[in-house]
């Protein structure tokens, strides 16, 4: 394969180093699975200025490869790790992503995901709106997530269709924002922009069925992505943030 050279246009000097480390973690984890069709590009070299990967010559997705993606992701998630979080901060798209090691998934997601994004909101009225809910219901939210999380799994962290490539033979995961967390956070992100194919979810569920609480958890996890997009791209995402917040309050938080 020839080289694909990705320049650092993020404004953060270590963003490509973090991306490379995420690719290495995913690649290492996938080496222990039996799904050969799911792959992660090998890092050929990385510096603060450039990440060099094999070039992937893309082709349209096929039903068979979408199923391989679902099965492979489930088998990746089946690998159990000792703690939640990550030992260093990294990036999700153009935004810093705060990490730490934690034995408490619920408080990690409440504080290092939702709380971190709420703290970045520039509009004081909007920030107060979300802070009040986290203050009032944050412990309930954390307790709910802890009660319905199976184990720490390695997550891609930003699993939307733009970060999955197909070459006709394999499925490639790119641009990760890795950390260890609830597997259903990855599945939630697949639905943030409309969802993957039915075959993808069926293949995932054959290996490890989603929990009965998945729909409520999906809205909690996607609130993080909505807040991130609001902070990056502005008011066009505020309505989505409010819809998800209302759903979380309705499904999870008691008066």
Active site residues: 158
Rounded CA-CA distance 54/41 in Å is: 6
Rounded CA-CA distance 54/82 in Å is: 32
Decide the pairing of beta strands 171-173 and 38-39: parallel
Q: How far is CA 10 from the centre of its chain?
A: 19
The residue behind tokens 């990760």 is 176
Residues near 243 by Cβ (< 8 Å), separated by ≥ 6? none
Rounded CA-CA distance 115/158 in Å is: 18
Rounded CA-CA distance 245/243 in Å is: 5
E-strand ranges in 8-157 read 38-39, 45-46, 50-54, 84-85, 90-92, 95-97, 101-102, 153-155
Among 150, 160, 173, 167, CA closest to 26: 173
Which two three-digit tokens encode residue 204?
């995932």
């Amino acid at each position: 394969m020839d080289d694909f050279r990705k320049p650092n246009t993020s404004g953060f000097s270590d963003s490509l180093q973090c991306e490379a480390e995420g690719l290495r973690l995913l690649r290492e984890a996938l080496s222990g699975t039996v799904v050969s069709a799911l792959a992660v590009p090998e890092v050929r070299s990385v510096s603060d200025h450039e990440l060099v990967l094999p070039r992937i010559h893309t082709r349209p997705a096929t039903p068979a490869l979408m199923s391989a993606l679902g099965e492979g992701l489930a088998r990746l998630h089946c690998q159990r790790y000792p703690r939640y979080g990550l030992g260093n901060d990294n990036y999700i798209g153009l935004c810093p992503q705060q990490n730490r090691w934690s034995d408490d998934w619920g408080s990690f997601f409440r504080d290092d995901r939702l709380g971190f994004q709420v703290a970045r909101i520039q509009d004081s009225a909007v920030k107060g709106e979300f802070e009040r809910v986290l203050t009032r219901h944050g412990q309930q939210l954390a307790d709910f997530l802890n009660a319905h999380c199976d184990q720490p799994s390695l997550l891609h962290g930003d699993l939307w269709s733009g970060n999955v490539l197909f070459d006709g033979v394999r499925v490639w995961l790119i641009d990760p924002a890795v950390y260890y967390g609830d597997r259903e956070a990855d599945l939630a992100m697949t639905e943030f922009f409309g969802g993957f194919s039915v075959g993808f979810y069926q293949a995932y569920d054959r290996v490890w069925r989603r929990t009965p609480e998945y729909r409520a958890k999906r809205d909690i996890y996607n609130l993080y992505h909505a807040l991130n997009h609001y902070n990056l791209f502005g008011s066009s995402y505020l309505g989505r943030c409010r819809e998800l917040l209302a759903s979380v309050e309705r499904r999870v938080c008691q008066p």
